[in-house]
Structure 1
Amino acid sequence: MVAPASVPNEEWSIDFKGWFRTRDGTRCDPLTITDAASRFLVEVRIVDPTWAGVKGALERVFADIGLPDAIRSDNGTPFGSTGRAAFRHSRCGGSSSASSRTTSRRRVRRTTPGTSACTAL
């Protein structure tokens, strides 16, 4: 078992929090990047749920903040199969985990209410 992150920027978690429609019917896909040790919300951005959308968000964060030691994601789109292969070949290697992990579920519940701001778009 992997030890929990103990210092900031040691491990980030990345995940889409589930899409929904705004009042005008536009699809909203909130991507969150969270520091595992501090629980700091590194990024919340509305991007296409594709590797290209995620890559653009990661490049902006890496340019502003730098690289973490590791990034943990679930196996969902775009992080599974071809997305994971692309992620492994990017500048920062990825680490996947089962989405049913208790800390992952807590992180999802804590950050999901904040995505309601997207409905104002």
Structure 2
Amino acid sequence: MTATLAPRGRTTLSDQAVERVATQAVTEVADVGGAAHWLLGETLNGTPEKRSAQVSATVDDTTAALHVRLSIAYPASVARTTEQVRDHLIRRLHELTGLVVTRVDITVVALYLNQPGPRRVR
């Protein structure tokens, strides 16, 4: 006698859940910071601020599209860093959620100094 398995059902991930997973995955990439309003390590009010990247996701059954806003440590290559983020997000989201990431749009909102030193007066 052969046992037949009943259908197991479906697991659905919300856009918000995927956004949180993707935001955490972005932090795993070197030279990437948050989407604060920074300009070379300073926020608009002059105080350094730590924030995570901002990710919005659109999930459709087995696929996801992402839009990421982040900052990059100066003097890292913007092109190389964004490509690393894109590749990492595609791989990690598939590993963690099983989703196929079809698109990753990245907006670099600022550059920041990785380790700001003392200010010099010229």
Same fold (TM over 0.5): no
TM-score, length of structure 2 as denominator length: 0.27
TM-score, length of structure 1 as denominator length: 0.27
Tell me which protein shows more strand as a share of its residues.
Answer: 2
**Higher RCO (CA < 8 A, seq sep 6+):** 2
Tell me which protein shows more helix as a share of its residues.
Answer: 1
Larger radius of gyration: 2
